[in-house]
Amino acid sequence: MQTHEIRRRFLDHFVRAGHAEVPSASLVLDDPNLLFVNAGMVPFKPYFLGQETPEHATATSIQKCVRTLDIEEVGITTRHNTFFQMAGNFSFGDYFKEGAIRHAWSLLTSSVDDGGFGIDPGLLWVTVYLDDDEAYGIWRDVVGVPEGRIQRRGMADNYWSMGVPGPCGPCSEIFYDRGPAYGVEGGPEADEDRYIEIWNLVFMQNERGEGTGKDAFEILGPLPKQSIDTGMGIERVAFLLQGVENVYETDLLRPVIDTAERLSGTRYGVDSASDVRFRVIADHARTAYMLISDGVTPGNEGRGYILRRLLRRIVRSVRLLGATGDTMAEFMATVKEAIGPSFPETIAGYERIERIAVAEEIAFLKTLESGTQLFERAAEEARESGAATLSGRQAFALHDTHGFPIDLTLEMAAEAGLQVDEAGFRSLMSEQRARAKADSRSKKHAHADLSVYRDFLDAGETVFTGFTELTDESTLLGIVSGGESVSVAREGDTVEFVLDRTPFYAESGGQLGDRGLISTAGFQMQVDDVQKIGKKLWIHKGVLTGGEVEAGQLVTAAVDPEWRKGATQGHSATHLVHAALRQILGPEAVQAGSLNKPGYMRFDFNWSGSIPADVLAQVEEITNAAVDADYGVNTIETSLDEARRMGAMALFGENYGSLVRVVEIGGPFSMELCGGTHVASSAQIGPVSLLGEASVGSGIRRVEAYVGMDAYRHQARERALVSGLATSLKAPAEELPDRVAALTAKLREAEKALESMRAAQLASRAGDLLSAAEDLDGIRLLAHDDPGGSAGDLRTLASDLKGRLGADAGVIFLTAAGSDKVPFVIAVSPAAQERGLRAGDLVKAIAPTLGARGGGKPDMAQGAGTDPSGIDAAVSALRSAVRDAG
């Protein structure tokens, strides 16, 4: 049965039963809790919560879904997809458990001729939540499923929520038995590769709060109405009904595998490692296609990052299979043909889908080969040194230089038997983001209503005299306050002044606007910023710090000379750094942005890879050599054509006028078109201290530097730091790297030794604790509280104690009381299980005393409570439960 028919049969079944057919929502919804729609019920969330009134009491849909938490399972298991189609039926206060169960069973087991899927009822198993006796009874007494094929499971398996605050409830799942060839007997509890979940019936009756995982969250209370949310996995039913081995070999995904075979020359079904790559390609190609269709584009954060990760995993996987040429266009075309009949709207937007996917492949291919070589060198160095971990700096270099998502580095490291210092990587990423945001400024007039300045613009442009003057007499043409033109400004007012002429430089070309004063004998204004409007009107922004002024008065405009000096040093240093980079890297290193202010410069340029430290050191040396050479700085006004004949660089694709300004430093050393202010000679710049370089976007690098006295102060701090370390470590400065490396190695060894001691201590305690167990009619009960212990320690200790019981019947109850939480573990030995004790049942017995919830398997269960004072009562309840069973 083809997938498109499975979809149609599902919808027809529920439409006949009176449900309204609802189209799928976009994968991207305006929900701050979700990156993507991850379940069929998400579009109906307001109905379940009672926030909106549904148009229909019952509904059915085939919802597009994406889940990325299981991305590492893709290709390995038989059942995990990132994109999948969730067929669902919904009741908003209409029918409840029995209705949902009857509808599902009817569709699954009715004959094909009658519109069903024709599945043999004898192959179906069901699970219910631990204490859901009602659902258990319906399956057994109404539907007729034998008790042996109904299993009770804990919260992690049979209590459903979206993973975030919202509606939730116990659920009942339906599983298909693929037969003994696929695993052991015993139902879903024993083997979920043999027993495949195909439908989840969620009895929406509660609202959950914050929490983590599938079972560590608070139940806030009941929903306004008891409702139904079910989800049948289209892909899972398809692979079972089509008689293939997994979800990747169905009619919707197998064509992508066939395309990958053709492009790579490798056959599917021959090698297990290659098969995983084929399945990753098939799954990710379809997911990427659907994400792009719903408006997602590749990026470095959020949804864009997920898409980029998927596309790059495809590229890497098909290369590992042997493909050498471009492949993405063929994969997207294959997906379109396969999924188009179900989602015809994607065909209309196909050109965009293909264009975005292909562009990402091209971008990644440029760096994949060199990045892989860098990784292999780093991995080999780690092995030779005996290390088992790649450093955070190495992972960051792969990301920063070669565009490797950290997930790809983790994946490659796992394949190489290595770990990655993720904490170190995250720290470096945080530093990069901080640098990228540093000193960014909002252009306040970018989207403002500029009508208030219209008369000033029409009257003519501001005359800028700041190239030769720092003080000038001007006429105050107008005052703007609160977005309106006013005639008078008084002390304390935040205002904008429009002058007929000004020595103040307005922010442009990366150079910040000047600071200074505008004043007369009767008032004073502190200028904090200067901006241009329409490229010809200067707006001076600031606060009146004294007096009162009226429009039309004569004023004195005076630039702060120290500010201007620092700004010109920073701007001229930027030209020198640009020239030095081009000397070392070549003409491709072209400016892409800059920021200059007193004591600091930031310079962005086009370059596809990171700049090694030794190369950056050369750039710094060439820059400072130019400073030391005391080159003259000349400005020339000429035609654009003449400037180009002179060799001046025109930047940013600007629209230059017929007359341009060329800034020349040291003749041929640096010659650029520039409207900024500059020093008179390069020696006035002072020292330039490069701080480092980083990526700020695809193909864009950034260098930062301190300039002048700020560079001197930075170097002085660095010297003091090195001197302090040398004194503390009693080593010469040149030996510090080796000494720090040795200390780091010792620290790691000490941490490993501490971990070994901790494990040994837990093991040594086990024997003493077990001797204190009480005997309850032949069943040994050990209850022990370890204040401040971790849940992991409890699990480890419980496993050890259970093993030490050997053939004895015993129950272990361990708690770790804190100020407000009580993690706990219950372990039951095999002999105690034979006497009817189950860890999950014992959790239910103690839960009320601790204000707890939890669950698990018969041999071990765990959870957490909120009432540490209830531990003694919990032990008493456990003692009673053990006696009752014994």
Distances (CA, A) of 430 to 24, 433, 435, 437: 38, 5, 9, 11
SS3 403: coil
Q: Is 399 annotated as a binding residue?
A: no
Whole-number Å distance between alpha carbons of 759 and 39: 41
> Is 477 within 8 Å of 458 (Cβ atoms)?
no
Instruction: Return d(Cα 751, Cα 116) in angstroms, integer.
Output: 61
The SS3 assignment for 601 reads strand
Token pair for 147: 């008790």
What SS3 state is found at 639?
Answer: strand
Instruction: Please indicate if the annotation marks 171 as binding a ligand.
Output: no
Distances 208 to 49, 222, 633 between C-alpha atoms, Å: 11, 9, 68
Torsion of CA 847, 848, 851, 856, to 10 degrees: 10
Neighbours of 493 (CB within 10 A): 17
Closest CA to 472 of 496, 505, 495: 505
Q: What does the DSSP assignment read for 53-64?
A: --SSSEEEEEEE
Read off φ and ψ for residue 632, nearest 5 degrees.
-75, 145
3-state secondary structure 324-392: CCCCHHHHHHHHHHHHCCCCCHHHHCHHHHHHHHHHHHHHHHHHHHHHHHHHHHHHHHHHHHCCCEECH
The residues, any chain, with a CB within 8 Å of residue 451's CB and separated by 6 or more, are none
Residues in the chain: 886
Cβ neighbors of 214 (< 8 A, separation 6 or more) are 155, 156, 157, 159, 161, 163
Q: Is 56 annotated as a binding residue?
A: no
**Does residue 65 have a known ligand-binding role?**
no
Please say whether the beta carbons of 463 and 500 come within 8 A. yes
Instruction: Yes or no: say if 781 and 753 are a contact pair by the CB < 8 Å rule.
Output: no
Contacts of 20 (CB under 8 A, 6+ apart): 55, 56, 58, 59, 60
Burial 171-184 (b: 16+ CB within 10 A, else e): bbbbbbbbeeeeee
Bridge partners (DSSP) listed for residue 507: none
Q: Among 227, 208, 177, which residue's Cα sits nearest to residue 56?
A: 227
CA-based nearest residue to 45, from 157, 128, 161: 161
Annotated binding site: 571, 575, 674, 678
- Report the binding-site residues for Zn(2+): 571, 575, 674, 678
